Amino acid sequence: MRFIGSALVASAIVLGACGGGEKAPEGAATADTAAVAAPAAAAAATPGAAAPITGTTHEIKMVGDDKGYRFEPANLTIKAGDGVKFVMVTGGPHNVAFDGTTLAADVKAQLDANFGTERMAELSSNMKMNAGESITISFGGIKAGKYAFNCTPHRAMTMKGEITVQ
């Protein structure tokens, strides 16, 4: 059984390396390459791309001290297109996460995309360890509504908040 698995893997490697076929002259586009390029260009313009911040960027502090773990302010009202900058102050590590089970599919996809390079997992930012580090999330393309968020490592310690988009 082990031999068959090894043989399959080796065959796949050999076949993948031997792509075969004729090489098209340089600069010549074939029907196959044009067919592949068209969907790739369409995918770049599809929903789910990060939306830019077109309004005000608001700041929320991530704090952990003798008073507990919290976001300051914990509740914030913004306009669609605004951004929210979460700044690590003390008591890390901290991150920002939204519960995907409470979001409509289109909002979930857009909000997830809006994490940009700060995204660690679906609807969750990477961890911030040092004071002054920050996470900025765009609310461009996000419908009006209330969006609960939390700090994953400190959720059980009630480090939660809510952003209301008008």
CATH at 132:
2.60.40.420
Cα gap 4→73, rounded to integer Å:
60
**31 lies in some domain:** no
Burial of 109 (0-12, 13-18, 19+ CB in 10 A): middle
**51 lies in some domain:** no
Would you state the structure tokens that stand for residue 18, as one six-digit string?
């031997």
Evaluate the CA torsion angle 93, 99, 104, 105 in order and state its sign. Answer: positive
Span between the terminal Cα atoms of the chain, in Å: 61
Looking at residue 47, what is its pLDDT?
55
Once rounded to an integer, what is the mean pLDDT over residues 117-141? 97
Strand partners, 91: none
**159 lies in some domain:** yes
| Residue 105 domain boundaries | 57-165
pLDDT in tens, 34-78: 444 433 333 333 456 999 999 999 999 999 999 999 999 999 999
**22 lies in some domain:** no
Q: To the nearest whole percent, how much of the chain has pLDDT over 90?
A: 71
pLDDT in tens, 11-36: 444 444 444 444 444 544 444 444 44
Phi/psi for 51 (5° steps) reads -90, 135
**84 lies in some domain:** yes
Q: Please give the tally of structural domains in the chain.
A: 1
**148 lies in some domain:** yes
Evaluate the CA torsion angle 89, 92, 95, 97 in order and state its sign. Answer: negative
Question: Under a CB-based contact definition with an 8 Å cutoff, are residues 87 and 134 in contact?
Answer: yes
Looking at residue 20, what is its pLDDT?
47
Closest to 53 (Cα-Cα) out of 137, 149, 113: 137
Looking at residue 35, what is its pLDDT?
42
As a whole number, the mean pLDDT across the chain is 81
Looking at residue 34, what is its pLDDT?
41
**23 lies in some domain:** no
Whether 7 has a pLDDT exceeding 70, the answer reads no
**24 lies in some domain:** no
Cα gap 102→150, rounded to integer Å:
13
